[in-house]
Chains A and B, each alone.
Chain A
Amino acid sequence: MSVTEMFSSIQGSLSADQDVREDIRKVVQALEQTGREILTVLQSVHQTAGFKEIPSKCERARELFSTVRTQIAELKTKFPTEQYYRFHEHWRFVLQRLAFLATFVVYLETETLVVREEVAKILGIEVVREKGFHLDVEDYLAGVLIMASELSRLAVNSVTAGDYTRPLRISNFINGLDSGFRLLNLKNDPLRKRYDGLKYDVKKIEEVVYDLSIRGLAKDP
Chain B
Amino acid sequence: MDRREGEGCPRRNADAAQDRDVNSSSPVIAAFKVFQQELDTKHDKHERLVKISRDVTIESKRTIFLLHRVTSVSNTDDILKEADVKLDAVRQKIGQIAEELRGEDLFQFHRAFTPGIQEYVEAVTFLHYIRHRSLISLEEINAMLVFTRGEQEELKGSVEAPQTGGPVLTFQVTPSDYLLGVADLTGELMRLCISSVGNGDIDTPFQVSQFLRQIHDGFSYIGNTGPYEVSKKLHTLRQSLGKVEDACYALRVRGSEIPKHMLADVFSSRTTHLEPEEGVV
Contacts and interface: CB of A to CB of B under 8 A. Distances in A.
Contacts of B28: 113, 176-177, 180
Contacts of B80: none
B138 to A, nearest CB: 7
Nearest to B226: A14
B10 to A, nearest CB: 15
Nearest to B219: A7
Size category, A interface: 35 or more
Contacts of A176: 23, 26, 28-29
B219 A113 contact: no
B253 interface: no
The winner among B110, B178, B214 for most chain A CB atoms within 10 A is B214
A2 B136 CA distance: 9
A194 interface: no
B179 interface: yes
A7 B24 CA distance: 58
A115 interface: yes
A86 interface: yes
Contacts of A6: 135, 137-138, 218
Given A10-B138, A88-B107, A115-B31, A3 B222 contact: no
Interface string A14-39: 11001000000000000000000000
Contact of A10 (B43, B106, B175): B175
B215 interface: yes
Contacts of A4: 214, 217-218
Contacts of B65: none
Contact of A184 (B27, B32, B107, B218): B32
Contact of A137 (B16, B29, B38): B38
Interface in A141-163: 141
Contact of B218 (A7, A83, A84, A221): A7
A44 interface: no
A15 B224 CA distance: 11
A13 B35 CA distance: 37
Interface centre among A13, A141, A183 (most CB of B within 10 A): A183
Interface in B155-213: 175-176, 178-179, 211
14 contacts: A3-B134, A3-B211, A6-B218, A9-B138, A10-B222, A11-B221, A85-B107, A113-B28, A115-B31, A175-B16, A183-B33, A184-B36, A185-B39, A185-B43
Given A83-B107, A175-B23, A183-B35, 18 more contacts: A1-B137, A6-B138, A7-B218, A7-B222, A9-B138, A82-B105, A85-B106, A113-B27, A175-B16, A176-B28, A176-B29, A181-B32, A183-B32, A183-B36, A184-B39, A186-B39, A187-B43, A221-B15
Interface of B: 15-16, 19-20, 23-24, 26-29, 31-33, 35-36, 38-40, 43, 105-108, 110, 134-135, 137-138, 175-176, 178-179, 211, 214-215, 217-219, 221-222, 225-226
Shortest Cβ-Cβ A-B pairs, 9 listed: A7-B218, A180-B32, A85-B107, A85-B108, A3-B214, A86-B107, A85-B105, A176-B28, A1-B137
